[in-house]
Every structure is written in structure tokens, then in C-alpha cells.
Chain A
Amino acid sequence: AQSVTQLDSHVSVSEGTPVLLRCNYSSSYSPSLFWYVQHPNKGLQLLLKYTSAATLVKGINGFEAEFKKSETSFHLTKPSAHMSDAAEYFCVVIGSQGNLIFGKGTKLSVKP
């Protein structure tokens, strides 16, 4: 069965420093993976997706993620955090029924 594990429930960084949000996946076949972001009291917005093309995926707002099959990881990174990046981030994999399976989320806090 497909699943994702977000290794950190909360990450805190200072503005201008790099962001790393970790996600490991489990899949019996080549997975389709996504990162979604949820700002407070808002819906979810797609940041980026991986669908077996380039392993380094660039998304919106300067975020990118690298698919590493050997490590079964799909970590989300950004070189320099901005205050507006403070939100909840979800790593997502497509399940066998075609439904999205969400990780438990990582809350990103950005300190001035």
C-alpha cells in the first residue's frame, strides 16, 4: 500500500535561511508525489508534483523537491524562507484507488 511519512511535525526557521521539510514514501510501484501547502484558515494549494519525469521538481514560490528512489524520499526545500511561507505543508502520494493519501503535515514557522 502507498503511504507517506512526514518526519517532522513542526519546523521553525529564521527568515532568509533555508527550509527543509522531509518526506519519505512507501510504494509498490513508481509513485506520483505531491506537496501541498495550507495557509491558516485556507484551502490547500498545490506546490509541486512529481510524475516520473525529472527527479528535481520546481514548484511555485521558490520551492523545489527532489525524488530520490534509493532513499524513498521526496524532501521539500527552499533556499531562503520568507515570512509568508509560514503554513502547514503536506506530502501526498497517489493511492492504489487513485485517491490522494496525505501525510500528517509539517507546520513551518518563520521567525523574523
Chain B
Amino acid sequence: QSALTQPPSASGSPGQSVTISCTGTSSDFGGYNYVSWYQQHPGRAPKLMLFEVSKRPSGVPDRFSGSKSGNTASLTVSGLQAEDEADYYCCSYAGSNRFVFGVGTKVTVL
């Protein structure tokens, strides 16, 4: 099972928006809407930011939004803040009770 494709890096100035893509094959995303996004700061455990493509867990700011079209999912962070600087990983259900993560994208706040 190959990792999902993400750009290695993305950046934006405070207040701007940044969008990260996550691309897989039809067998990765299939017809499922079980795509989630995680934020990971250095030395810390990942934190769930979005699940089922665009749903936010309690406590996650609405600056974080998600979408999916075909075999590509996207995470958009609007109104960038310094604390948004982190690694972001997508994750998709890949069938047969298995999941696959993306390779990760480092977001830098300029």
C-alpha cells in the first residue's frame, strides 16, 4: 500500500490561506469519504483536525476546512496563524479495514 501524495511544503504569511492537496488512487479513496487530516508539531503526537473530509472535531477552529474531488482531497487553512506552523498528514480508508497516510506536508508561516 503506497502512501498518499502530498506536496513536501507549503507556506503563507499570517492572515493568508494555504491549501494542501492529498492525492491517491481510486483504490485509496475509492467511493469512501473517510478522509481525515492531522496536524503534528515537532516532538508531539498527531492531532485530528478534520474527519470524513470536512468535519471538524470539537475545539478545532473553523479556519480549517476540507474538500474532496475524485481521488484528491484538500485541506485549507485560512487566516494563517503562527501556531499553524506544523506538519500536516492526510489519511484515507483504503478498504479491507486498512488505512493509508499521506507523506506529509510541512507548513511554514512566513
Partners in one complex: no
